[in-house]
Amino acid sequence: MTDIRLIDERQLIADYLRGDSGAFRTVGEWIDTALKGGFFSLRQDWDDVRQEVQARLLQNLKLDRFDGRSTLRTYVMRITRNVCVDATRRSSRRRERCLVPADLAMTPEGSGEPAPDPLARDVVLKIMTALSEGERLLIEMIFGENCSYSEAAQRLGIKEGAVKTRVFRCKNRIVKRYQRLTRGRR
């Protein structure tokens, strides 16, 4: 006996791949439901998130990655959640970079901006040289190149959980070293 849900979903998928406006409206409602269900912090980026979800969904459907183990609605909402998590991580990384004191920012000579504080730069160099080569590479990938944890894990050939643990420990080490080096300087 054929599941009626699968027949309707197959038709919706075919319509979506064809560019049917009704199918896009249905999927759009599912995406909005997921966004309103817990991603209000990204509200200003919802248009970008919707587009990225639709692009991923279209790519996955073209590659026949939807296997029907869940409903299509659940599949769309899961993609939406994953895109939102990625967007939140990117946003978090931007905020963390903004937490670096302004006097540590490197400015090109002749730019008219004040030169960085040599003592502050010295602190940063001391902190970075105290890290192992692997830790420096990981920090550069996560905060310099904006790699996601999964991207960093693939590049390093380790599990994503290991990357998260290493980043957490590394950040703690950096903060402690910074506190030791800056005691009495303020």
What is the per-residue pLDDT across 105-125, written as a single tens digit (0 to 9) for each? 444 455 455 555 666 777 777
Residue 52 and residue 80 in contact, taking contact as beta carbons nearer than 8 Å? no
Q: What is the mean pLDDT of the chain?
A: 80
At the second CATH level, the architecture of 4-96 is Orthogonal Bundle (1.10)
End-to-end CA distance of the chain: 75
Rounded to whole angstroms, the Cα distance separating 52 from 43 reads 14
The full length of the chain comes to 186
The CATH number of 101-182, from 1.20.1250.20, 1.10.10.60, 3.20.20.60, 1.10.10.10, is 1.10.10.10
Report the amino acid identity of residue 149: Y
Radius of gyration of the chain (CA): 23
Residue 48 backbone phi and psi in degrees, to 5 = -65, -40
| C-alpha distances in Å from residue 34, one per residue of 27, 75, 80 | 11, 11, 7
Confidence of residue 104 (pLDDT cuts 50, 70, 90): very low
* Predicted TM-score (pTM) of this structure: 0.49
Residue 137, pLDDT above cutoff 50 = yes
Residue spans of the domains in the chain: they are 4-96, 101-182
Report the amino acid identity of residue 175: V
Report the amino acid identity of residue 171: K
Residue 81 and residue 34 in contact, taking contact as beta carbons nearer than 8 Å? yes
